Structure 1
Amino acid sequence: MLSKQDMSKRAQIGFFSLEDLVPQDHLLRQIDQCIDFSFIYELVKEKYDEIQGRPSLDPILLIKLPMIQYLFGIKSMRQTIKEIEVNIAYRWFLGLSLEDPVPHFSTFGKNYTRRFKGTDLFEKIFYEILEQCIAEGIVDTSEVFIDSTHIKAHANRNKKESVEVMEQAVFYTDKLTKEITKNREKHLKKPLKETNAESKTSLKKRSTTDPESGWFHKGEHKEVFAYSSQVACDKHGWILGYTTHPGNFHDSRTFVSLFNKLKGAFPLEKLIMDAGYKTPAIAQLLLEHKLTPIFPYKRPMTKKGYFKKHEYVYDDYYNCYICPNNKILSYTTTNRKGYIEYKSNPKDCKNCPFLSKCTNSKNHTKVITRHIWAEALETCEEIRHQSWFKELYKKRKETIERIFGTAKEFHGLRYTNQIGIEKMHMKIGLTFACLNMKKLAKIKRIRAQKRRFPKGKLPNLSIIHRILHRKKTNLIFV
């Protein structure tokens, strides 16, 4: 029988409670039960005048607006406001009744510009929510995974200009300079002349739409303006910290800003990172802090057909290298970049049968460099050969890589409509705060179910399933 729906129900009038219209298992209801947002009042207290005037919008409601946007991956604040107008769960989460007017889409942007711009409010919100997760005893910082991800900027890749910019300073410059001077004195070499570091510039591409973004290229076809976010998480996937940088900043140089946040806040033991962080400076930094750096194998950057560096044996006692033809490469100097140079004797190399696989220099001299902190990398290689290394490194795809995938696929972090690094930092912080809130809500829901149905007392679903599929059974459930 063909049935037709009665469309007159659209005009139905009734008495309903907003509390009853939101499902008990809705994500926003679970988040509201497990997260206490009252800390926001204290954080924004100084941003509001004490003089009585026009009533302001509740700051918790104001912060919840972008949270809804990032939590459900809505593209813009304009679209978010449209969704709130018709979504009962969104209204309930914000504390709005069915009759209350929804704030204009420009409300958050105006308040951000007038009150929150230039502050670390949103980073404080992230860490306050993280503290509530830590209070549940479910965060373990003994194994911390660190990686970066790129977020496409709101900038046309064709609208760019070439400008002279200062070279990015490295965090270990002063320390490395002292080590270089000490090493040269040890080998009776004169100290290097001081250079004007401020005069070092290079030609970079800059967006005319968003000048604070960076030109990011990965492969032959992926060249866009983007931002980079350094992120750390524990072995259970809890996000512990984040930083925001232009997309053309290398991971090895931006690492220290995230590390400084972590070392003072959490008891760290092992840091697991990819090959982009495998540099002598980072290895030395972590070992000095008595941490265990976990790096993967990094392929030697040697031309095809030539001897690899590991085929030249280093003699620590005599401070020299021995080539595959058993000839010695002696110490010559220590350069400004912190590399110790070892050179062969041209007389030994001239008639060497392996010359074509060793060097193609005109004066038949092979040069091998060894960083001042090379011992730190060698220690990392010893750690890499431990039996537990592979299983631990595999957890990256279950933790940090899964976070990036989830944030980009479901929470709108693949690209941004924000302009400027400060707004990007806000967007990234609230997005990761939402991920932690979702995780906490899920864990608390599972715990509640276990308390309701202790082990061994769960209903026998298989029996109910068989009963419902009996052909001659007519059951009525009340």
Structure 2
Amino acid sequence: MMGRQANGQDRLFYSFNLEDHVPQSHLLRGIDRCLDFGGLREHLAEHYSPIGRPSIDPELMLRMLIVGYCYGIRSERRLCEELHLNLAYRWFCRLGLEDPVPDHSTFSKNRHGRFRDSGVFRWLFDEVVRRCMAAGLVKAEGFAVDASIVAADASSQRGVPGTEPVDWKDPALSTRAVREYLQGLDAEALGKVLPKKISLTDPQASWTAAVGGPAFYAYSTNYLIDVAHGVILDVQATPAHRTAETESTKVMVERVQAQFELKPQRLIGDTAYGTAAMLSWMVDERGIEPHVSVWDRTQRDDETFSSSEFTWDEQANEYTCPQGRPLRSQWRAFKIERSHVTKADTIIYSARKQDCSSCPMKQRCCPNTPVRKIARSVHEAARDVARKIATTEQYERSRCERKKVEMLFAHLKRILRLNRLRLRGPSGASDEFTMAAVVQNLRRLAVMVPQGPPFQGISAPA
């Protein structure tokens, strides 16, 4: 017998409890057990007036943003619509069935105002990292670092060549991202490299084609993770060029040490982090084992001798060629001692002309120059340490562990759908990358510690 739904009179009273309609295995339940907003009001106290109309609870806005980033809801307007309809979202945000959902415009005002000025996203990120530490997910034995390019919210057609002057006082260009750019023009990080193209919408976004295909404006998100369980310990937004990405590693390692008193025994990275200066910073300044491929352009592929086939003598401060002839940085004494260090932080070692001209192996050594020269980095000792580590079994294991960073980037773009920014400027990119890292850590914490981490060593809940 075919049933038929009754169209009776609407019920006057309902007995409905949100708690009963959210499954115990729901992801948001696990995340809720891992969250602690006990110190939020104290952190934001000076950014709110003690008088006047009460504002929307900042915890509610952060919970809504966590839902949005967790489920890839990038639009704040759509986030408010989904929160209005979804019971699990309402339960997580502590809203009853009849409670109103905040207007989407509230996010913009707070994101670009008190949230950004107070650094509340960084505060939340640090609190979540402490929860991961309390749960035993951070071992601090090995860190891995990498960067991934994310497209900026800037049209490729609205840009000018880097050599072309721009009237930034034009009212049409007076945007928040442009103001940030003008404020940072005197900073050391800017102005070192003349950009090929500048966006009039987001001037600090880099014009890049690093991923292959057409060029576009982009920022880089830099992750520093603990390789034990893939917990993100720090995140940094930078323009999408290699120099800024490598320099951000120093900032993140130092910040993690200052904030959490964590220092790794080894740091894992790809060849981009294997420059001589970077290796020297790891080995000589920080005492960290560099599990990084050395950035080396001295190897030759034209069947002539590479610099690695010359023997280095530390005491004599000279190289010895395969024929047993020396290469030195100077062949005569000077009244005023010279360092011989070039602008590239190298010292040039050269052979004597008479040795090379009479050498039977000249065609295999320096067929196009009168003498053989070798440029030795002033940080060559640190490079040698990295080369020695690269021959160990631990290094091979580190190569596999480095993939955990790439997996996080894949999750960031495919699951969280952060393949293009919605906010502009370095501060906007930083806010988005930080919130995404918060959610990635929360998801990992909820899965690996379903009962929730203990509160020892961190602020207790209110």
Change (3 A) 1:312 1:89: same
Residues of 2 paired with 1:411 and 1:201: CA distance? 33
- 3-state SS of 1:57 partner: coil
Query: Structure 2: which amino acid aligns with 1:358?
Result: C
Q: What is the aligned partner in structure 2 of residue 213 from structure 1? A: 205
Q: What is the aligned partner in structure 2 of residue 417 from structure 1? A: 422
Once the two structures are aligned, what percentage of the paired residues are identical?
A: 28
Query: Structure 2: which amino acid aligns with 1:286?
Result: M
How far the C-alpha of 1:152 sits from its partner, in A, is 1.2
- Alignment partner of 1:42 is 2:42: yes
Change (3 A) 1:202 1:42: same
- Picking from 302, 313, 329, the partner of 2:327 is 329
Change (3 A) 1:31 1:282: same
How far the C-alpha of 1:9 sits from its partner, in A, is 9.4
How far the C-alpha of 1:254 sits from its partner, in A, is 2.7
- Alignment partner of 1:291 is 2:298: no
8 Å contact from structure 2 (residues 27, 443) kept in 1: yes
Q: What is the aligned partner in structure 2 of residue 260 from structure 1? A: 254
Residues of 2 paired with 1:366 and 1:300: CA distance? 16
How far the C-alpha of 1:138 sits from its partner, in A, is 2.6
Q: What is the aligned partner in structure 2 of residue 276 from structure 1? A: 272
Query: Structure 2: which amino acid aligns with 1:329?
Result: L
Change (3 A) 1:297 1:291: closer
Residues of 2 paired with 1:263 and 1:66: CA distance? 28
Residues of 1 paired with 2:200 and 2:147: CA distance? 25
Query: Structure 1: which amino acid aligns with 2:219?
Result: Y
How far the C-alpha of 1:272 sits from its partner, in A, is 1.4
Q: What is the aligned partner in structure 1 of residue 394 from structure 2? A: 388
Q: What is the aligned partner in structure 2 of residue 202 from structure 1? A: 194
- Alignment partner of 1:400 is 2:405: yes
- 3-state SS of 1:144 partner: strand
How far the C-alpha of 1:7 sits from its partner, in A, is 8.8
- Alignment partner of 1:443 is 2:448: yes
> For 1:46-84, what per-residue CA distance to the aligned partner results, in whole angstroms no more than 9, with x for missing partners?
110011x22210010011222111111112111211211
How far the C-alpha of 1:137 sits from its partner, in A, is 2.5
Instruction: Tell me whether 260-269 or 346-355 shows the greater mean CA deviation.
Output: 346-355
How far the C-alpha of 1:199 sits from its partner, in A, is 9.4
Q: What is the aligned partner in structure 2 of residue 312 from structure 1? A: 310
- 3-state SS of 2:124 partner: helix
Q: What is the aligned partner in structure 1 of residue 221 from structure 2? A: 229
Residues of 1 paired with 2:279 and 2:158: CA distance? 39
> For 1:20-58, what per-residue CA distance to the aligned partner results, in whole angstroms no more than 9, with x for missing partners?
12222111122112322232212111110011x222100
Residues of 2 paired with 1:72 and 1:47: CA distance? 29
How far the C-alpha of 1:10 sits from its partner, in A, is 12
Q: What is the aligned partner in structure 1 of residue 459 from structure 2? A: none
Residues of 1 paired with 2:211 and 2:150: CA distance? 16
- Picking from 338, 346, 351, the partner of 2:345 is 338
- Alignment partner of 1:248 is 2:247: no
Larger relative contact order (CA 8 Å, sep ≥ 6): 2
How far the C-alpha of 1:369 sits from its partner, in A, is 0.6
Residues of 2 paired with 1:161 and 1:221: CA distance? 20
Gaps of 5+ in 2: 166-184, 331-339, 454-462
Residues of 1 paired with 2:193 and 2:233: CA distance? 35
Q: What is the aligned partner in structure 1 of residue 374 from structure 2? A: 368
Residues of 2 paired with 1:386 and 1:133: CA distance? 30
Residues of 2 paired with 1:335 and 1:299: CA distance? 17
Q: What is the aligned partner in structure 1 of residue 17 from structure 2? A: 17
8 Å contact from structure 1 (residues 300, 309) kept in 2: no
Q: What is the aligned partner in structure 1 of residue 433 from structure 2? A: 428
> For 1:230-260, what per-residue CA distance to the aligned partner results, in whole angstroms no more than 9, with x for missing partners?
2111121111111111112423333221122
> For 1:323-373, what per-residue CA distance to the aligned partner results, in whole angstroms no more than 9, with x for missing partners?
334332221432122201112223333454544443454x52322111111
TM-score using structure 2 length = 0.82
Residues of 1 paired with 2:204 and 2:61: CA distance? 26
Q: What is the aligned partner in structure 2 of residue 464 from structure 1? A: none
Q: What is the aligned partner in structure 1 of residue 178 from structure 2? A: none
How far the C-alpha of 1:413 sits from its partner, in A, is 2.2
> For 1:151-170, what per-residue CA distance to the aligned partner results, in whole angstroms no more than 9, with x for missing partners?
11111223222235989958
How far the C-alpha of 1:301 sits from its partner, in A, is 5.2
1:20-31 correspondence runs (5 A)? 20-31=20-31
Query: Structure 1: which amino acid aligns with 2:130?
Result: E
How far the C-alpha of 1:220 sits from its partner, in A, is 4.9
How far the C-alpha of 1:127 sits from its partner, in A, is 0.1
8 Å contact from structure 1 (residues 167, 200) kept in 2: no
8 Å contact from structure 2 (residues 34, 452) kept in 1: no
8 Å contact from structure 2 (residues 350, 374) kept in 1: yes
Residues of 2 paired with 1:25 and 1:272: CA distance? 35
RMSD, aligned CA: 2.8
- 3-state SS of 1:284 partner: helix
Q: What is the aligned partner in structure 1 of residue 83 from structure 2? A: 84
Instruction: Tell me whether 371-380 or 408-417 shows the greater mean CA deviation.
Output: 408-417
